Structure 1
Amino acid sequence: MKYLGIMALAAAILGSSTTAQAANVQITAQNPVIELSISEQVDSRPDTATFNTGVETKAATATQALRDNSRKATMMIDKLKSLGIAEKDIQTTGINLNADYEYDRASKTNRFVGYRVSNQVQATVRDISNLGTILDALVSSGGATNLNGPYFSIDDDNTVKQLARERALANGKQQAENYAKASGYSGVRVLSIAEGISNSAPGPMPANRMMVAQEESVPVAPGQVGTSVNLNITYEMTR
């Protein structure tokens, strides 16, 4: 069990009237209230990985640079599809055209040499056991010039969320009852619950660690993804 912290045990005189608010609904409590902020995290093995890749080309003219880039980008996307990635899991995230300069040491100025075009794509792999092979094949024969990621996640995390939610509720009730009994009350009742959910995973693998020799498969360790449910719960102490 993990806690983000206890916000406050409301200062109130026994028998006084306290008001708790949730979703613009006024709920009047006849006894003191307890406000808790509780977090519960459930770790599980990811089943989905997302990475970003792309191609970059240079040419003397903008038109030629764009044409060369379009040809290579098409080859790269076709390669992704041939590696088993569905078309719906391939998305273009950016196409950039910029003037290209080189620094001239003699004149100490930037000299215009042409144009640079990049096409970036995001791809989602739903069978992460093949991720290393896909990354290796993409660089060695797919023409990709850069890689970023992977970012691991759970495709359907409803079951994990529900487990974290149940643990957080049980944890919150136990803590609230402890406060109530210490204050001379017998139990608690829930007045309001507000929820927040977050996911955490190991950071992306640096691109230079992915660019291994062509005859080797890229090692990938998916680890675990943490799904956290954060609850802000208000209880009323009961006799």
Structure 2
Amino acid sequence: MTRTFKALMPRAFLAAAALTAFAAPAAFAQSAATTPMQVHAMAAQPALNLSAYGEVRVAPDMATITFGVQTEAATAQAAMADNARRMQEVFAALSRAGIADRDIQTSGLNLSAQYDYVENQPPRLRGYQASNQVTVIINDLTKVGTTADAVVGAGVNQINGISFGLKDPKGAEDQARVLAVRALQDKARLYAQALGVELGGIRSLNEGGGYQPQPMPVYAMARMQSADASTPVAAGEMTVRIDITGTYDLGN
């Protein structure tokens, strides 16, 4: 039996070796056939990333003014009471000027202690300061100056700023969008021509920017009140801008 087992061993080994020899080339052939296809699938198509903008200038048709009344008194109660009385007069003046209640909004209400500071001495309480801030929308630009004068005459002693805007900015935004897309297309064609390749379709398009009211500083408007004429206010024009970015496919 020992001789029989030894005689069979070489034949089994040869069979296993033959199986391995046939299997290895087949596996190699399969790997060689699929590798180029995988590389081709991973190759990204050339693309062109660009940005452009479009803007239009339009005349505003509304204004927003922020103003307030600031009062001081020896006690907090007195400061608030004086402020409330003067603000009631301001609201009455706004009503007479034709400003609707929905266009008036309190935007700030503050009360703070006021101190005098002397070197080498502790702070000394001087009194209290009350402040009431109101934001008003004016839909008729011809009334901006007269409205400012009216509230100053009623007791307003702070005017913090004015901004001009559009009641419905969609029309101006759409015009800016069209101009932005045209600019993006022109830029894409120019780049493709310079590169000597064919311009493909657009892959993605993103928008940014848009309408924003444009604030303008108001310097000492309260001191410009005159008995002969209303405070001059120039609305000018405002810019509505749309920014876009796009990705185009490129050919060979």
Normalised to the residue count of structure 2, the TM-score between the two structures is 0.77
Contact residue 114 and residue 128 of structure 2 kept, 8 A:
yes
Unaligned runs of 5+ in 1: 1-15, 19-30
Alignment of 1:217-232 (within 5 A): 217-232=230-245
For 1:118, the equivalent position in structure 2 comes to: 131
Q: How far apart are 1:199 and its partner, in Å?
A: 4.1
- Compare 49-58 and 201-210 and name the one that shifted more: 201-210
- CA distance in 2 between counterparts of 1:236 and 1:17 reads 14
The equivalent position to 2:168 in structure 1, one of 156, 168, 183, is 156
Equivalent pair of 1:93/1:121 in contact (CA under 8 Å): yes
| Number of equivalent positions | 211
* 1:179 and 2:179 correspond: no
| Contact persistence 2:157–2:222 (CA under 8 A) | no
Corresponding position of 1:73: 87
Which has the larger helix fraction? 2
Where does the alignment leave 5 or more consecutive residues of structure 2 unmatched? Answer: 1-41
For the residues of structure 1 that align with 2:91 and 2:105, how far apart are their CA atoms? 9
2:137 counterpart letter in structure 1:
T
Give every structure 1 segment of 4 or more consecutive aligned residues whose post-TM-superposition deviation is greater than 2 Å.
101-105, 107-111, 181-188, 198-203
Number of the residue aligned with 1:83: 97
Q: Distance in 2 between matches of 1:44 and 1:111?
A: 54
Q: How far apart are residue 42 of structure 1 and its match?
A: 0.9
Aligned counterpart, 1:139:
152
Provide the alpha-carbon RMSD of the alignment.
2.2
Q: Kindly state the Cα deviation for residue 193 of structure 1 after the two structures are TM-superposed.
A: 0.8
Distance 2:131 2:141 in 1: 27
- Give yes or no for the alignment of 1:95 onto 2:109: yes
CA 1:199–1:210: 2 relative to 1, 3 Å: farther
CA contact (8 A) 1:176 1:188 kept: no
Q: Which structure would you say has the larger Rg?
A: 2
Q: How far apart are 1:138 and its partner, in Å?
A: 1.4
Q: Which has the higher strand share?
A: 1
Distance in 1 separating the partners of 2:114 and 2:223: 25
Contact 2:64 2:136 in 1 (8 A): yes
